[in-house]
Amino acid sequence: MSEPCIIDAHLHLGPPGVFFAPETESAQLLARMDRLRIRCAVCTDDVTLFDVNDDCLIRPRQVFEQSGGRIHYLGVFDPRRPEASLRSLGGAKEWPGFVGIKIHPSMHGVPAEDERYEPAWRFAAESDLPILTHSWSASGYNPEQHLSTPERFERHVRKYPGVRFVLGHAGGRGTGRHEAVRMANEYPNVYVDFAGDIFCYRLIETLVASVPTEKILFGSDFPWLDPSANLTRVLLADVPVSAKRSILCENALHVYRIGAATC
């Protein structure tokens, strides 16, 4: 491929909590994007994952503006604080650069099927916004991951078929990825991104063979991983160039309604 339009559809900024990350600020991210010719990104500010409040999306909006419209952002819905979350999302709904909602059942300690997520799905449906979620396989060393296994989202996916829903990390490894693939095939509104440390053999080739190409989005999970890791996997994958274009750009344009002029 030469000069592809590339959109990193899953990354983060801000303090990463328990994870080590040497680069967490927007200037550092933009430098990486420029080096790798990534045109734009979809970002969750990690501060908002830990503390949803009325002003929590001001910083991501400033980053969007300071980046020249390259770093778009998601608002967080915390089911433990629904009123504050909805105020934050409602206030940002018409802001430039705001492109969707992020949920994280494992971090917030609320299982994915819980009715406390209902306001987020309703808001997304009424506002024509996508939802990106953390998803992963059940884990013996990280037991909170069981709250985010893909099949647990199915109740809301069925109820809100018009909400574009992205299973971040494609369900992780093993049974989680198997369930994510099943859901992406079964439900028209379900997509997967492969952000994160899913370092298994021929991941991109396997995903392209398993689900419609238009359901797969490139993500890096910066700052925990250098964007070049997952980007290289796509560029060197043994799949058609048309599939690479879909994964690297076209699918993110559709899911997050990022203007085509971006690329």
Give me the percent of the chain exceeding a pLDDT of 90.
87
Cα within 13 Å of Cα(244), Cβ side: 18
Per residue in 180-201, pLDDT tens? 999 999 999 999 999 999 988 9
Cβ atoms within 10 Å, residue 203 = 18
Is residue 126 assigned to a domain? yes
R_g (Cα) of the chain, nearest Å? 17
For the chain, what is the domain count? 1
User: Per DSSP, what are the bridge partners of residue 233?
Assistant: none
DSSP conformational letter for 250: I
Per residue in 2-33, pLDDT tens? 467 999 999 999 877 777 788 889 999 999 99
Is residue 1 assigned to a domain? no
pLDDT of residue 1: 44
Is residue 105 assigned to a domain? yes
Give the pair of three-digit tokens for residue 148.
């985010």
Is residue 148 assigned to a domain? yes
The C-alpha atoms of residue 199 and residue 3 are separated, in whole angstroms, by 26
Overall average pLDDT of the 123-134 stretch: 98
pLDDT of residue 3: 63
pLDDT of residue 19: 75
pLDDT of residue 21: 83
Per residue in 28-71, pLDDT tens? 999 999 999 999 999 999 999 999 999 999 999 999 999 999 99
Which CATH number fits the domain that encloses residue 15?
3.20.20.140
Is residue 246 assigned to a domain? yes
Is residue 30 assigned to a domain? yes
The C-alpha atoms of residue 7 and residue 85 are separated, in whole angstroms, by 27
Q: Which domain holds residue 87?
A: 7-262
Specify the 3-state DSSP secondary structure of 36.
helix
The C-alpha atoms of residue 263 and residue 260 are separated, in whole angstroms, by 6
Overall average pLDDT of the 200-225 stretch: 96
Q: CA 179 from chain center: how many Å?
A: 17
Instruction: Tell whether the model's pLDDT for residue 242 goes beyond 90.
Output: yes
Instruction: Tell whether the model's pLDDT for residue 260 goes beyond 70.
Output: no
Per residue in 92-109, pLDDT tens? 999 999 999 999 999 999
Is residue 2 assigned to a domain? no
Cβ atoms within 10 Å, residue 218 = 26
Residues 6+ apart with CB under 8 A from 110: 79, 80, 116, 117, 147
Q: Residue 118: exposed, middle, or buried by beta-carbon count in 10 A (0-12, 13-18, 19+)?
A: middle
Instruction: Tell whether the model's pLDDT for residue 85 goes beyond 90.
Output: yes
Give the CA distances from residue 257 to residues 9, 100, 197, 253, 261, in Å, rounded to whole numbers and listed in that order: 12, 9, 26, 5, 11
pTM for the model stands at: 0.96
